[in-house]
Amino acid sequence: MKERTLFKTPRFKVCVADFGRGDRTHTVYYVRKPDSVLIVPYTKTHVLLLTVTRPLLPGSSIELPGGRIEAHETPLQAAKRELKEECSLGGIKWSRLLTVFPLPSVTTERVHAFSVEVEIPPKWHPVSLPEEGITRIGLSPFSEARRFAFQGKMRCSADAHALLTFLERVIG
């Protein structure tokens, strides 16, 4: 397979390659993008969720903290960094949840999801990060978080998958 770059940005590149299957070859266009992480931060009874506005989505979405894995990082290192950057929190007990390919016919990106038990400090007041579209950071009871996923309020399929996987393991 010989890959050609058609367009490049600081965050991704659009590529084309010819793939062979048996005696047939077909051309595939795709986005080559760095892997990313999602984090399910939780207490004994709650999950920490973000309300985020995205330029390409109408309205807002309920999401998990997360972001891109930098070239020098492992997925776990990136998850720890993102939790600190977005929520001003560290984690007590980290567990790998899953790795998914959110759009395997369109992008090479893998999403590595972790759960982490967090201790919320008494004077914790998370700040919104409007430059990243984050308008609210807050705790939701497990049952409410599950409803967000099933009611379509979590609009990213990887976020919903990670949250529901976590909830299935914790509360069945």
Residue 125 CB partners (closer than 8 Å, separation 6+): none
> Model confidence over 130-148: pLDDT tens digits?
777 888 889 999 999 999 9
Cα(18)–Cα(172) distance, integer angstroms: 44
Residue 16, both tokens:
């084309």
Largest CA distance in the chain: 65
Q: What's the confidence (pLDDT) of residue 55?
A: 86
The pLDDT score that the predictor gives to residue 159 is: 96
Q: What is residue 37's predicted lDDT score, i.e. its pLDDT?
A: 98
Domain boundaries, the chain: 1-32, 34-171
Q: What is the CATH number of domain 34-171?
A: 3.90.79.10
Separation CA 140–CA 94 (nearest Å): 20
> pLDDT tens digits, residue range 73-129?
999 999 999 999 999 898 999 999 999 999 999 999 999 999 999 998 888 877 767
**What pLDDT digit, counting tens, does each position of 6-35 carry?**
999 999 999 999 988 778 888 999 999 999
Give residue for tokens 């977005």. 86
Q: Provide the 3-class DSSP secondary structure of residue 140.
A: strand
Strands 111-117 and 134-141: unpaired
Q: What is the pLDDT of residue 126?
A: 76
Local structure of residue 69 (DSSP, 8 states)? P
Helix (H, G, I), strand (E, B) or coil at 90: coil
CB 102 within 8 Å of CB 171: no
Q: Tell me which H or E stretch contains 160.
A: helix 157-171
Closest CA to 36 of 8, 6, 59, 63: 63
Q: Kindly report the pTM of this predicted structure.
A: 0.91
What per-residue confidence (pLDDT) applies to 22? 79
Residue 111: phi and psi, rounded to 5, are: -115, 120
Residue of 107, 98, 106 whose CA lies nearest to 159: 98
d(CA 62, CA 48): 10
